[in-house]
Structure formats: structure tokens, C-alpha cells
Structure 1
Amino acid sequence: MDSTLSSTNQHDNAGSCLERTLVMIKPNMISKSDQIIPEIEQAGFVILQQRRVRFTPEQASDFYAEHYGKMFFPSLIAFMSSGPTLAMVVAKRNAINGFRQILGPTNSEQAREVNPKSFRARYGTDTLKNAMHGSESQHAAEREIRFIFPDSITEPILSGDESTQYLEKKVNQTLIKGLTELCKTKPAEPIRWLANWLLVNNPNQPRVTLP
């Protein structure tokens, strides 16, 4: 996969987590990326990662494996491997469903009838060349993000009061203890000492009690 790097429904009930989803601008509309990206950001989505990719037919087949055996599958693979694609990980509360709403129906002609302001209505031409892709579910988002961004974290992002509480309960107290011990010990290499101390005193590491 040739690529150039630049620069995830479940938590909605709590209302405190940002969800990630995968968005792709397909080969027929990548020339409009500079126009489409600001629209995504204006809709309240934050772009966390961005990558320009060129799928091989094999990679496109793996990405769209759920459609294997369907009549349109060969045409889809040929289209998605015909040119570069811009893939993005975007985040927002309820990002998956939220982006699907502004993306519009799969068929661009139908999108123009039921949601004329959607991306597919304005940029797509038909069911195949429908301009953009958006993950359909949390499971799909996690799989697709890892497919294109192997090192990406797909867990929801804490935000607001929940992140503040997490820092106060899980991070700040541990850091204060570590820094206090650092001041008492006065090691020759304080950064290395603190790093090792945090590894040993990580409150999230599993504890095994021997019989």
C-alpha cells in the first residue's frame, strides 16, 4: 500500500466519550479533498489522522471482504484500486452515526432525492462512484481503522468531566507519589528513575496473588 502520512455506540448514553470512525474520499473525488475536508470539520468532526493510500486489488478486496460474492464486488475493487484514496480517522460524539447521516445513502441518485445536502448527493454520481466511505458500525470502524492505520488506538476518547476525573484519580495521585519519591531519592538520572518507578507502580497493571 503506497501511502503518504500527513499530520472510534455505545458511549453515547454517558455523553462523555468521543467516538472514532473511518472516512475515505474515493478516487473519483480525491481532487475535491481541499473542498470536502473543511466541510467535515465544519460539521464538528476532528480529524485525528490522515493518510493518502493507493489500494492494490488485493488490499481493496480485503478491505471490502464483507461484500465478497456480490454482483458489484469486481467493479468495486477495480474502482477502489484505480487511483489514490484519502483516508481519515475522525472523532466526535456519536461519530459513526453522525457521519453516516451527512454522508447520505449509498446510491447517490437516491441521496439527491432524500438528502440533497449530503456528501454523496453533491459529490457522487451513482452507487459505485458515490464519492465517500464512512464506517457503518463500531465493529466496522475498529476493523477499518486498524486496516489503514495499524498503530491507531480505536477506543473511545474520554472528554469533559470524565477525563478530568480520570486524571485526578488515576494519573495525578500516582505522579505525585512518584515525584515525592524522586525528590527524596535524588537519583543521578531522574527521568530514567521516574520512568522505571512508574513502570513498577503502574496502578493499572494486573496484580497476581499467589496462594
Structure 2
Amino acid sequence: MFFPNLTAYMSSGPLVAMILARHKAISYWLELLGPNNSLVAKETHPDSLRAIYGTDDLRNALHGSNDFAAAEREIHFMFPEVIVEPIPIGQAAKDYLNLHIMPTLLEGLTELCKQKPADPLIWLADWLLKNNPNKPKLCHHPIVEEPY
């Protein structure tokens, strides 16, 4: 009877589905969640998300896949168009950072040193938002097509 009750509860209102992408994401997320039963979580892991937001074994507030196979299956169910790629680690991560992150960050930090703003963290955050090379390009004038 647990699964039908769980299905009814999970579909009783809006929900938010997200994909967590990081090295060792599953173990990290499960640690943040705490035990499945929120009542147990309140006793043994009082700072866990389920202890804080859950109410009982059924209404435990959050879900986390138990292993990679389950995560992959659940991701494809909720997000059928998503391609699951491995998170780069080691040399692959360094190569990615050097190619895609460092040029923009170095330019921003250089400009930060030249400007010497009162709040450098906020200044750099704003600069990175404005100078993100992956930001979509917006067309500020309408494109008019000639009729055929």
C-alpha cells in the first residue's frame, strides 16, 4: 500500500524536478537528505533536509536516487531530451577550465585590479554576468522579412 500512497502524494500538487551535476553527486545529495523516514531523520540527522522539511515516512519532502542506474533512469523519465554526460574530473576538468573559464576570468580579474572598486566581489559578479561569452546574443532591432 506504500507505493500507491506515495504516488498519490507525489501527484497531489506541484513538484520541482532538478538534476544535480557534480562529482559524487549521489552520495553528496543523499547525505544532505538524511534518512528516508523524516521521523528518524529528526532524531538521528536533525540538520538534514528531510528532518527540516519532511513530516513522516511518506511525506519526506525530497527524493534522491540511490545509485547511478536509478539516477539515469529517473533523469530520462523526467527529462527525456537530456543527455547524461560524465562530470569532468582531474586533467579533463583542468583542460575545460583552461579553455572555457580562465580567459574570461583572467580578463575580469585584470579589469578588477585596474578599476579598484569599493566592493570587488559584487563588481566581479556583475562584470562576469555582462561579459559571459555564452550569454545569448539579443537582437535590439526587429528583423523584417520581405513578403514573397
* Normalised-by-shorter TM-score class: 0.5 to 0.7
Call closer, same or farther: CA 1:121–1:162 in 2, change over 3 Å: same
Alignment check: 8 A CA contact 2:23 2:89 kept: no
Paired residues in the alignment total: 98
The 5 A counterparts of 1:141-152 are: 141-152=71-82
Superposition pairs for residues 68-79 of structure 1, below 5 Å?
71-79=1-9
Q: CA deviation at 1:165?
A: 5.1
Tell me the residue number matched to 1:88. 18
2-structure distance, mates of 1:163, 1:122:
35
- Taking structure 2 as the reference length, what is the TM-score of the superposition? 0.61
Identify the residue that residue 107 of structure 1 maps to in structure 2: 37
Letter of the structure 2 residue corresponding to residue 149 of structure 1 = F
Aligned ranges 1:29-178 → 2 under 5 Å:
71-164=1-94
Structure 2 gaps of 5+ residues are 97-148
Shift of 1:161: 2.0
Moved over 4 A (4+): 163-166
Determine the C-alpha separation between the residues in 1 that align with 2:40 and 2:94. 44
Where 2:72 maps in the other structure, the secondary structure is: helix
| TM-score calculated relative to the size of structure 1 | 0.43
Partner AA of 1:146 in structure 2: H
Distance 1:113 1:83 in 2: 28
Task: Provide the C-alpha distance between the structure 2 equivalents of 1:114 and 1:153, rounded to a whole number of angstroms.
Answer: 37
1:146 is paired with a residue whose SS is helix
Q: RMSD in angstroms over aligned alpha carbons?
A: 2.0
- Same amino acid, percent of matched pairs: 54
Q: Comparing both structures, which one devotes a greater share of its residues to strand?
A: 1
For residues 139 and 127 of structure 1, the distance between their equivalents in structure 2, rounded to whole angstroms, comes to 24
1:159 is displaced (CA, Å) by 4.0
| Deviation string, structure 1 residues 172-211 (Cα, Å, up to 9, x no partner) | xxxxxxxxxxxxxxxxxxxxxxxxxxxxxxxxxxxxxxxx
Three-state SS of the structure 2 residue aligned to 1:143 is helix
| Residues 23 and 87 in structure 2, CA contact (< 8 A), matched pair in contact too | no
Shift of residue 160 of structure 1? 4.9
Q: Which has the higher contact order (CA 8 A, sep 6+)?
A: 1
